[in-house]
Chains A and B, each alone.
Chain A
Amino acid sequence: AQSVAQPEDQVNVAEGNPLTVKCTYSVSGNPYLFWYVQYPNRGLQFLLKYITGDNLVKGSYGFEAEFNKSQTSFHLKKPSALVSDSALYFCAVRDGHTGGFKTIFGAGTRLFVKA
């Protein structure tokens, strides 16, 4: 069965500093990995995905994520954080090998960016 872990409930970073939000996963086959963001009182928005190819994927709003197969990780990163990045971030995984469409979400990490 697939699973995903976000070890940090909350990440605090100063504006202008780099940020990292951690995610590790477990699947039996090839992972399809996703990051979503949820702003206050708004719906979930897709940020980026890894299916195959380059381990570093770029997404919306300047975010990127690095797929590391040996560490089974897919950490979200941004070189310079903005106050407007403050939101709830979810990592998600699907087992690409089985061909299933079910996506499992992590518990979420709340990002606070201070001015």
Chain B
Amino acid sequence: SAVISQKPSRDICQRGTSLTIQCQVDSQVTMMFWYRQQPGQSLTLIATANQGSEATYESGFVIDKFPISRPNLTFSTLTVSNMSPEDSSIYLCSVDKGQGYGYTFGSGTRLTVV
């Protein structure tokens, strides 16, 4: 299975600022996924990031708020823009090595907005 390095592992940010989360995979993958896990809740898919094309966002998430980059097959970034306390969550990147296989997740970024 893939190994994912995600950073930062945690951050405390001021409201109105932006944070960029990086996700590095040790092998090439076609699709990368960004999830949000709010305190005490399940994972919600933010967007799917394919290399060479715009990310596909789920309902309730927009590119202006969560811009995503996917410059190559091993790397992606998610930016949380103009943050408010409601953005306080754990953000996770994940990859799928092939259809039908389980995801591998990064260790997550615990974001607190004050």
Shortest CB–CB separation between residue B70 and chain A, in angstroms? 14
- Is B104 in contact with chain A by the CB < 8 A criterion? yes
Query: With contacts defined as CB atoms under 8 Å apart, how many contacts are there between chain A and chain B in the complex?
Result: 52
B103 and A104: CB pair below 8 A? no
A36 near B108: Cβ-Cβ < 8 Å: no
B45's partner among A51, A102, A107 (CB-CB below 8 A) is A102
We find that the number of chain A residues with CB closer than 8 angstroms to chain B is 21
Q: Please, which residues of chain B bring their CB within 8 A of the CB of A102?
A: 33, 45, 48
Q: Let me know if A101 and B45 touch, CB within 8 A.
A: no
B43 within 8 A of A: yes
Q: Does A99 contact B (CB under 8 A)?
A: yes
Instruction: Find out whether the CB atom of A36 lies under 8 angstroms from the CB atom of B102.
Output: yes
Q: Is A112 an interface residue (CB 8 A)?
A: no
Cβ of B48 and Cβ of A43 under 8 Å apart? no
| Contact A101/B48 with A51-B100, A90-B42 known, Cβ cut-off 8 Å | yes
- The winner among A45, A46, A101, A103 for most chain B CB atoms within 10 A is A101
Contacts of A108 in B (CB 8 A): 41-42
Is the beta-carbon distance between B45 and A104 smaller than 8 angstroms? yes
B102 touches A43 (CB 8 A): no
A-B contact pairs, 19 of them (CB 8 A): A32-B100, A42-B107, A43-B92, A43-B105, A44-B43, A44-B103, A44-B105, A45-B105, A46-B102, A96-B99, A101-B33, A102-B33, A102-B45, A103-B45, A103-B103, A105-B35, A105-B44, A106-B42, A108-B41
Q: A32-B100, A44-B105, A101-B96 are in contact. List 14 more A-B contacts (CB 8 A).
A: A42-B107, A43-B106, A45-B105, A46-B103, A46-B104, A101-B31, A101-B48, A101-B99, A102-B48, A103-B103, A104-B45, A105-B43, A107-B42, A108-B42
